[in-house]
Amino acid sequence: MPATLDRQLVVAISSRALFDFEEENELFEAGDDRAYMALQQQRLDVPAKPGVAFSLVHKLLGFNVGAAAPRVEVVVLSRNDPISGMRVFRSAQHFGLKIERGVFTRGTSPWRYLRPLKAQLFLSANEADVRSALGAGVAAARVLPSGARASDAHPHELRIAFDGDAVLFSDEAEQVYQASGLDAFQAHEIERAGLPLPAGPFKPVLEALHRLQRDKEDAMSVRTALVTARSAPAHERALRTLMNWQIEVDEAMFLGGLAKGEFLREFEPDFFFDDQIGHVESARAHVPAGHVASGVKNV
């Protein structure tokens, strides 16, 4: 009987999102494929440094420790060549990351393998791959490799923060705001306060985290936050939507347009997801952050 990833949270991640390959990537971006491969081969026995999404992956895999069956599967899905993939696996082993599966496509887009992997989340430094994944219905974010690393203050707690519109929720309300301004947006949301928002691309990820929190009773836990530019009275529809989904978040920040970075610095997430690049830039100075290229702001 073949192996299966059913009933697991499957996270696909590129090698640059997981490890710091920025020096090597300069050769790759210059189009010198052979020199890049040669450099990676020379460094096979040199573990790569942790990248922006390293803490997220490390803690997700922590939910498998002591479990009767794996709860989370992390797969490397990379434009790297197979030889460079050897260094990725060796680096993962060095840090105790139990990553056993990988797909390496040597320069071509790997997103098409998300479907057979049944991946619910894809993290990559390549914007085109992220957009392709989102277009295929998979939650995806572009990791900014030069961003901050996660705090080590919460070793047994996975902390993730989400924006609302175009991330957890659809961009229905954001479209109103962009077309008609703040007053029209507020009126639209007050009128529809009791009507749940349609789901955004990251609703399945929040659901999967909710299941991990509910079903897993050991040293690892989950803490989630909604960090949104919404303010009262538009906050109510967002909260009622989560209530309708029967999903709880631990913290909610309705910031009314304030910069999100300093608030996220205090929450200390392992990762933050937002659809607006300005918010991601504000966040990345303090915490790991990824750009979700969905919704009207990213057309």
The overall average pLDDT reported for the chain is 93
Mean pLDDT calculated for residue range 233-246: 96
Per-residue pLDDT reduced to its tens digit, 107-165: 899 999 999 999 999 999 999 999 999 999 999 999 998 778 999 999 999 999 999 99
Contact 270, 288 (CB under 8 A): yes
Domains, in order of start, for the chain: 9-143 (3.40.50.1000), 157-298 (3.40.50.1000)
Pairing of β 271-274 and β 289-291: parallel
Whether 279 and 287 have beta carbons less than 8 Å apart is answered as no
Could you report the per-residue pLDDT of 69-85, keeping only the tens digit for each?
Answer: 899 999 999 998 898 89
- The 3-state secondary structure of the chain, one letter per residue: CCCCCCCCEEEEECHHHHEECHHHHHHHHCCCHHHHHHHHHHCCCCCCEECCCHHHHHHHHHCCCCCCCCCEEEEEEECCCHHHHHHHHHHHHHCCCCCCEEEECCCCCCHHHHHHHCCCEEEECCHHHHHHHHHCCCEEEEECCCCCCCCCCCCCEEEEEECCECCCECCHHHHHHHHHCHHHHHHHHHHCCCCCCCECCCHHHHHHHHHHHHHCCCCCEEEEEEEECCCCCCHHHHHHHHHHHCCCCCEEEECCCCCCHHHHHHHCCCEEEECCHHHHHHHHCCCCEEECCCCHHHC
Task: Work out the pLDDT band at 102, boundaries 50, 70, 90.
Answer: very high
Amino acid symbol at 82: P
Q: Nearest 10 degrees: CA dihedral of 297, 172, 194, 164?
A: -30
Q: What pLDDT score was predicted for residue 30?
A: 72
Quick one: average pLDDT of 2-10?
86
Clarify whether 81 is annotated catalytic.
no
pLDDT score of 216 more than 60: no
* Number of neighbours of residue 132 by Cβ within 10 angstroms: 19
Which one of 81, 163, 171, 270 is the catalytic residue? 163
Instruction: Indicate yes or no: pTM above 0.85.
Output: yes
What is the C-alpha separation between 216 and 63, in angstroms, rounded? 7
Degrees, nearest 5: CA angle 149-19-163: 50
Average pLDDT over residues 212-238: 88
Q: What is the pLDDT of residues 259-276, one digit of tens each?
A: 999 999 999 999 999 999
Mode of pairing for the β-strands spanning 101-104 and 72-78: parallel
- pLDDT score of 35: 82
Q: 17 and 124 in contact (C-beta within 8 Å)?
A: yes
pLDDT band at 67 (very low <50, low <70, confident <90, very high): confident
Residues in Cβ contact with 278 at an 8 Å cutoff, skipping those fewer than 6 apart: none
Q: Quote the pLDDT of residue 39.
A: 87
pLDDT of residue 217: 60
CA distances for 61 relative to 11, 95, 158, 207, 238, angstroms: 10, 12, 10, 17, 30
